[in-house]
Structure 1
């Protein structure tokens, strides 16, 4: 359950160091920095607070929340990612663990954060039930992530682009989990639920791995556009167009990031 970024989730497996580098680099994009910092505010990160970052990936959020004085603990299902994160962030409390079975006692935490995680879970409701277990009364939970069905890509072939986006979404276990955050939180017994939407806009070559992943999705899924089946030639032309846009500074991809917060009664 590594904290996959918008450019690497569903992409071919990468070696630990390369995956770490790519994830850390994309998280420095202003469109992702803003909602991440906002999540700390909504979580109420304060000196001495014991907070967990579930699906911590590179441990970036753990380091940033520790910098705010919190006792931050990162948990990730990927042992490879935890090993790499420990190497880059010595001293950080990073543990291998499952979102459905966290290494905390009942009511031990004051804050629970999961960023770009719930779309990769088979049972988001079960994970949120576990979040409720480990949070103390009054504890805060924050969920953040993109809605994979609403990626916006400027293109000369809009019908083909729609097919590509939906094929990409079909690779994700729960592609619309982010739009369900509010109801998931309510159904899990949380209150004071709020939802914000932040839009990350990409106009440079840093988003080209997403283009490659979407193209691979089309090839694997046999997606169809308005005029029929999408062929390999269609996919190749679409990738070439997006690559050309990136080279000339005309690429435009917008990713809505949903940030939901709530309180454990």
Structure 2
């Protein structure tokens, strides 16, 4: 194994570990189910899950009787998905080149896209007339954390947000869908509240990424992480994470 291959494998493994951890958070399963219900799909309906990652949603959609297709631009991620769900349909593809489908689902994807308008134009192209689309994701500027240093917390949250291609994509879901000429556009927000140590990896990641970007010093990051760990140990941690769920219908 070359050094580059080893680094890619480690990076994929780290991402899968984070995705698996996110899937275990309270409320995550209910959000996935909501996104499936909003598709309005019936048995035999084809649904493309964009940015499918390790493939859990594809397997769950297939379990509901739908013809689910998972696409992801990462060949290593698709390999993992195929290994976990060998009966499912996974393909290497990005958000701008998709197979035809009756339904379109993207969960935690649009904040990674440099051109969400292009992605929705592709969604319109591949969706059958009257097909449904659901978008799920968090607004990276809207993470609420209780801390003794609110100014530092604000700096950390915003610095982490600025490391993504589209940190505020979720708040734009409605207008993006309207601009792409989708109809019946709805948006709702489901906010999860965390008060225990299960969310410490996310908090630590926020501070570490802000530190690596130079937004805060090593001392500031370590102090902030230590405060959050202490809060978790004394039942005083508080994090609220709003997740936006949008749905719409393709033009007939």
- Fold similarity call, TM over 0.5: yes
Q: Which residue of 2 aligns with 1:65?
A: 61
Gap runs ≥5 in structure 2: 1-7
Which residue, out of 137, 140, 143, partners 1:145? 137
Residue of structure 2 in register with 1:95 after alignment: 91
Instruction: Tell me if 1:193 matches 2:185.
Output: yes
Give the number of the structure with larger relative contact order, counting CA–CA contacts within 8 Å between residues 6 or more apart.
1
The aligned length equals: 244
Q: Does 1:166 align with 2:166?
A: no
SS of residue matched to 1:46: coil
User: Which residue does the alignment assign to 1:256?
Assistant: 242
Whether the aligned pair in 2 keeps the contact of 1:45 and 1:65 (CA below 8 Å) is no
Deviation at 1:18, TM superposition (A): 5.0
SS at match of 2:97: coil
The equivalent of 1:127 in structure 2 is: 119
Matched residue SS, 1:56 = coil
Of the candidates 24, 49, 74, which is equivalent to residue 20 of structure 2?
24
Aligned to 1:220: 212
- TM-superposed CA distance for 1:91, in Å, is 0.7
Q: 1:244 aligns with which of 217, 230, 246?
A: 230
CA contact (8 A) 1:116 1:144 kept: yes
CA distance in 1, matches of 2:42, 2:25: 25
Alignment of 1:85 onto 2:81: yes
Deviation at 1:13, TM superposition (A): 8.4
Matches within 5 A, 1:194-213: 194-213=186-205
TM superposition shift of 1:28: 2.6
Question: RMSD between aligned alpha carbons?
Answer: 1.8
**What are the Cα deviations for residues 177-200 of structure 1, in whole angstroms up to 9, with x where unaligned?**
000000000111101000010112
Check whether the contact 1:139–1:263 (CA below 8 A) recurs between aligned residues. yes
Partner SS state of residue 155, structure 1: coil
Following the alignment from structure 2 to structure 1, what is the Cα–Cα distance between the partners of residues 159 and 17? 27
Give the Cα separation in 1 of the matches to 2:199 and 2:238. Answer: 9
Cα pair 1:119 1:173 within 8 Å, conserved: yes
- SS of the residue corresponding to residue 133 of structure 1 reads helix
Look up the SS of the partner of 2:185 in the other structure.
strand
Cα distance, 1:131–1:253 mapped onto 2, change above 3 Å? same
Runs in 1 of length 4+ with deviation above 6 angstroms? none
Q: Which residue is equivalent to 1:8?
A: none
1:249–1:45 Cα change, 3 Å: farther
What do residues 5-47 of structure 1 show as CA deviations (whole Å, max 9, x unaligned)? xxxxxxx984544543441232132322222110111011210
Secondary structure of the residue aligned to 2:61 is helix
Distance 1:203 1:219 in 2: 24
